[in-house]
Structure 1
Amino acid sequence: MSDPLGVPSPWVRRFAHLVEKGGAVLDLAAGAGRHARFFAGRGHPVTAVDHNLDGMADLAADGPVARIRADLEDGSPWPLGDRQFAGIVVTNYLHRPLLPILADALTPGGVLIYETFAVGQGEFGRPSSENYLLRPNELIRVFGPLLTVVGFEHGIDYAPNPKAVQRLAAVKGRDLVPL
């Protein structure tokens, strides 16, 4: 998950085709915008949200990536109101109070692609605080009752460096999807 700048996660690439062609995508805690750039390149209008937008300063203000500066953890209201998205991507980020909001922010048929660190990551580096590490099956427990899970992994990924991760891809309101 520490891919070089601009290289989208293999997990995100694997499930990107499930996002409705031309549908709006949210890149939450977007960092430098590697996934925002990836989806924009696939023809999606993208909203990238992060507390620091410096890594996306090179993007055109009138381009396909709208940037919203927001601190998602300071207790402020959800910065996107009742907007919904055909795809939501979250990588390398966990703030548990936002998890239920994500399912509501998907359109019918929308796709959530989530990948972040899990318990055990402390053996390999940061983060090591349990506040930022998913517990076993946590994404399944949160999203399983709300969405159709089409992909899930939990374990140690050794490429390019060892890290404990949990990954989920899920769809809102569709039982069968083209894998």
Structure 2
Amino acid sequence: MHPNQEKWDRIYSNRPDTNPVTAEVLQHNQHLLPETGYVLDLACGLGGNSLLLAEKGLTVSSWDISPVAIRHLQQRAQAKNLSIDAKVRDVIEQPPEANSVDVLVVTHFLQRDMTELLTATLRPGGLLFYQTFCRNKVSQQGPSNPDYLLKDNELLTMFAGLKVRVYREESLLGDHSMGWRNQAMLVAEKV
């Protein structure tokens, strides 16, 4: 068993609440989604994004390294009568093919050396919805390892070849008790 699989299986097995949550980048920007198309929810976890996307009528594939997470997603999808192709897959070892998706969703997953590959995964006109944690955060939410935390404006430089449609990163500015903190979000289009 891969160490990451063991880690994530343990995390998902020990969660008292397995209700999947949809990422804010998708919640707030779902109006940008196409009416039809093929979507990949990469490193999908419990599949909150996948469920919303399937409810919108899109063709959804969901990949995660954790069989526990995929099993939860499959049970949820079945209970809601949604068609989601959920697979246990190590996205680092088995990345998606080039020009294979209309929408790519990546949340709380950061593997910098996959940036070009993720960009290539999108078909022309395809959309990337990306959200993950930042180094400059107001609480301890998310990982502490800087390898898994974005530097200021890093998403903008990582995906500089895409056309930015939405970007939000509040960092440590202003009143820390207000706003959307600790993470950055990006919606970008491959032109």
Per the TM superposition, whether the score is higher than 0.5 is yes
Structure 1 residue 49 corresponds to structure 2 residue 63: yes
**Does the residue aligned with 2:28 lie in a helix, a strand or coil?**
helix
Query: Stretches of 4+ moved more than 6 A in 1?
Result: 157-162
What residue identity is the alignment partner of 1:71? D
**Structure-1 separation of matches of 2:29 and 2:177:** 19
Structure 1 residue 71 corresponds to structure 2 residue 90: yes
Quick one: structure 1 residues 151 and 159, their matched pair in 2 at CA, closer, same or farther if it must change by over 3 Å? farther
Q: Please give the root-mean-square deviation of Cα atoms over the aligned residues, in Å.
A: 2.6
Aligned to 1:101, which of 110, 113, 117?
A: 117
Structure 1 residue 152 corresponds to structure 2 residue 172: no
**Structure-1 separation of matches of 2:84 and 2:127:** 18
Identical positions, percent? 27
Contact 2:163–2:190 (CA under 8 A) maintained in structure 1: yes
What residue identity is the alignment partner of 1:168? L
Contact 1:19–1:86 (CA under 8 A) maintained in structure 2: no
What residue identity is the alignment partner of 1:12? L
Q: After superposing the two structures, state which structure 1 stretch, 108-117 or 163-172, moved more.
A: 163-172
What residue identity is the alignment partner of 1:116? T
* Long gaps (5+) in structure 2: 1-17
Q: Per-residue deviation at 1:141?
A: 0.6
What residue identity is the alignment partner of 1:65? I
Q: Per-residue deviation at 1:102?
A: 1.3
Quick one: structure 1 residues 159 and 64, their matched pair in 2 at CA, closer, same or farther if it must change by over 3 Å? farther
Q: Per-residue deviation at 1:161?
A: 10
Structure 1 residue 27 corresponds to structure 2 residue 56: no
User: Hey, which of these two has a bigger chunk of helix by percent?
Assistant: 2
Quick one: structure 1 residues 56 and 143, their matched pair in 2 at CA, closer, same or farther if it must change by over 3 Å? same
* Long gaps (5+) in structure 1: 174-179
User: Under a length normalisation based on structure 1, what TM-score does the superposition of the two structures give?
Assistant: 0.80
**Structure-2 separation of matches of 1:51 and 1:160:** 34
Structure 1 residue 140 corresponds to structure 2 residue 143: no
Quick one: structure 1 residues 57 and 64, their matched pair in 2 at CA, closer, same or farther if it must change by over 3 Å? closer
What residue identity is the alignment partner of 1:165? Q
Q: Per-residue deviation at 1:6?
A: 3.5
| Count of aligned residue pairs for this structure pair | 165
Quick one: structure 1 residues 71 and 17, their matched pair in 2 at CA, closer, same or farther if it must change by over 3 Å? same
Query: How big is each residue's C-alpha offset from its partner over 1:117-176, in whole Å with a ceiling of 9 and x where there is no partner?
Result: 0113484243010110011111111112x1100111112497899851111110111xxx
Structure 1 residue 168 corresponds to structure 2 residue 182: no
